[in-house]
Every structure is written in structure tokens, then in C-alpha cells.
Amino acid sequence: MALLTLNTAPLTHSKTSTQYPLLLGAIILLTLLGGCSKTEDAPLPGAAGGAMPAMPVTVIDVQPEKVPTLIEAVGQTEGSKDVEVRPRVSGVLMQQRYKEGDYVNAGAVLFTIDRAPFQIALNQAQAALAQDKASLERSEREAARLKPLVAEKAISSRELDDANTALQAALASQKINESRLRDAELNLSYTHVTAPIAGITGRAQLSLGSLVTAGAQSSLLTTINTSNPIWVRFAFSERETAQLRHSNKPEIHLILDDGSRYAPSGVINFSASTVNNRTGMVEMRAEFANTDHRLLPGQFVRVQVNVGHRDGYLIPHAAVAQTEQGSVLFTVTPDNTVAPRPVVTAGWSEQNWVVTEGLAPGDRVIIDNLMKMRPGAPVAPHAPGETPAGPKQ
């Protein structure tokens, strides 16, 4: 059985004076993938003199470029306005005049409460006010009649004073009943439960025929949510918050569960002034346009914030092997053999890893057939889109 040996000398980068030892996990993985079998040393078909044929692999020549510095967090959407609809008067629920989940305008009638008791109260208030108006007119006539009689000394001043007092009492009584009439009118109008804001309606919480009580906790009828614009709540660590504050107009985007980027960018409209002592995070909120209502309240999304740019290499996700000790790439040496390369990554940029250390300009990175790679194995590299060259006969 052939033994697989690797050069485990540390890689030194003058830029950071950091040594990268060849990852133990990568060595074990590559050794297992290479495999050892009783027929390992047997010549392979198509190989001259029993030598291993070069495996076709797709390679890319990497060059450093300015890549965005991204910080990410998991966020949850919520409506920019979320209102509970409750009755303002007590009574029996008679009608539901909206379809659950529909968009409604502010002022649209959602429910009606039995109007009969409130119509009766309104009629009583109107009658009381009419009675007061009649009393006021009588008092005014009486005061007007007595006033010249006092000048003629036909009656005492006390009688006129009593008439004026009765006039003021009638006027006050009229004002009281005018207020009661207004109150009765309002209560009658409240039997039409209307939408306080425009938005998407929720599920009706009570069935028709239920007795609702104004001010009771159990009197919730439905909810209305405004999801355009929509808000997203998330949190960053202290270090990430410092990066965010030092950036100039950071770009904020959402990554949906299918991996797509939500087109409209957002703006931060709230940042907590303190660090949460339980989580060590700073809570934030961003606002996004949602004209097509693609985002729904309660949805989980990834919040991605661009806080600047830095030098790095963009490497396709599939080309980076993850081990317990870190990330590994497979490169092609000048003599077309495989050379593992431990690298340092710094997050994603769309469909690529951002590699900040471990690569040099012009390195050729293998992006396919990774499961078949063995250190030192011969390969036949070709650029993406080119047809692999066949084995030489």
C-alpha cells in the first residue's frame, strides 16, 4: 500500500507574518479520498507505463480585487404599523363587512354592532334637548317681560333676579343636553367599527352574535398591518456596530430564504443606544419599500450590510473545502499537480467566498472534481467553458 506524504511546512505570508500550517483535517480528508486498496498500484487503463493519468479539472486564475466588506445578521420582518381593532361601545356583534386578509382603506367599515340601543339613547337625547330649548325660550320671554316692570316699580327686583336665574339654569341645561346628544351620536357611530389605518386585515377573532365589551381585554376583533413600508428587526455585535457607524452611508440589503436578493435597498431607522446585557448585541431596525407585498410580517430574512471595501479574492463556494480546522483550496502547481492550500475566508459576496489570506496573484484554483483530488496527483487543467483535453496516448 502506497503511503501518502505531504509537505507540512508552514506557509508564511510577509504581509501579516502569520503562519498557516497545513490543516490536519484536510490531510485526513485527502488521504481517505485518495484511498488505499490492493489494486492501487496496478496500472490504470490508458496510462502509459502504469502512470496515473492526468485528471481533467477546471481552474480559474485568481487576482486580488476590491470586494465589499459585508456584515450579516438574521432578521425578522414586521409591519411598520400594527393596530388592534377593538370596539368602542359594548353590544352584540351583528355583521362582518370585510374579507379576512384583504387590503382596506382607513375608515372602511369592518364590523357592525347592534344599533338599536344606541338609536334609542340618541332619540332620548334629542327629546331632552328639545325640551330644554323650549324651557330656555320660556325663560327668555319671562325675563324680557319682567325687565320693564321693574323700571316701573310694578314688581320687585327680586322677581326679575329669579327670572334671570331661571334663564341661566335653562341655558346650562341646554348645554348639558347638547353634550349628551353629541355623546349619543358618537356612540351610535361607534356601532360601525372602522379601520383606523390602511393596511392588510387579519383574522376575525370573534364570531357574529358575540357580546363585545368596550375596553375589555377579550374584545379584540381583528388586526390591521401596514407592510409598505416594512420594517426588519435585527442585531449586531459591538464590533459590527462599530464598523457600521464608521461607514459612510452603508448599503443594506435582504437575502431571502431562496438565496435571492430583495431588490429595494433599505435604510436604518432605529439603532439602540445601549448594548443588550443578556445577548451582548445592539438592536437595530431597517425600513424597506414593499409595494408588491412580497415580504410578509413575521418572515425571517438575512440582513446584509456593506460597510466598505477591502482587497481579497472571490472564489466560488464549491471550490472551498471546509474542515474542522478551517478552509482549504486546491491549487495547480506549475508542473500541473495538485497542491492543497489553507486559506482564510471573510464571509460571502453573493455566490463567492471572500478569501483574504492564503492566495497569491496568478494562483490557479481548482473549482470542480474536489472529491477526487489528492496532493501531488497530476491534473489536466482547463479554463471554465473549455472542453477538457483527453488523456495522452
Please give the full DSSP string across 275-340, using - where no structure is assigned. --TTT-EEEEEEEE--TT--S-TT-EEEEEEEEEEEEEEEEEGGGPEEETTEEEEEEE-TTSBEEE
Using CA atoms, how far apart are residues 361 and 141, in angstroms rounded to an integer? 106
pLDDT at position 220: 95
C-alpha separations of 300 from 76, 254, 388 in Å: 5, 10, 43
Compute the Cα dihedral for 292, 298, 302, 304 and give only its sign: positive
Position with higher pLDDT, 86 vs 390: 86
Per-residue model confidence as pLDDT tens digits over 128-138: 999 989 988 88
C-alpha separations of 140 from 129, 130, 134, 159, 296 in Å: 16, 15, 10, 14, 65
Radius of gyration, CA atoms only, the chain = 40
Segment 36-61 shows an average pLDDT of 61
Segment 325-349 shows an average pLDDT of 88
pLDDT above 80 for 371? yes
pLDDT at position 147: 80
pLDDT above 90 for 309? no
3-state helix, strand, coil in the chain (%, to 5): 25, 40, 35
pLDDT at position 20: 42
Segment 42-52 shows an average pLDDT of 49
Per-residue model confidence as pLDDT tens digits over 188-222: 999 999 999 999 999 999 999 999 999 898 899 99
Using CA atoms, how far apart are residues 252 and 263, in angstroms rounded to an integer? 11
pLDDT above 90 for 91? yes
Q: Which domains are delineated in the chain?
A: 27-37+52-69+310-381 (2.40.420.20), 70-80+227-308 (2.40.30.170), 87-222 (2.40.50.100)
| One-letter identity of residue 222 | T
Using CA atoms, how far apart are residues 113 and 206, in angstroms rounded to an integer? 12
**pLDDT-derived band of residue 345, with 50, 70 and 90 as boundaries?**
confident
pLDDT at position 51: 60
pLDDT at position 390: 54
Mean pLDDT is lowest, of 92-101, 207-216, 381-390, for 381-390
Q: How high is the mean pLDDT of the chain?
A: 83
Percent of the chain exceeding pLDDT 90 equals 49
pTM: 0.61
Position with higher pLDDT, 52 vs 82: 82
**pLDDT-derived band of residue 69, with 50, 70 and 90 as boundaries?**
confident
**pLDDT-derived band of residue 164, with 50, 70 and 90 as boundaries?**
confident
Is beta strand 300-316 parallel, antiparallel or unpaired with respect to 352-357?
A: antiparallel
pLDDT above 60 for 17? no
pLDDT above 70 for 392? no
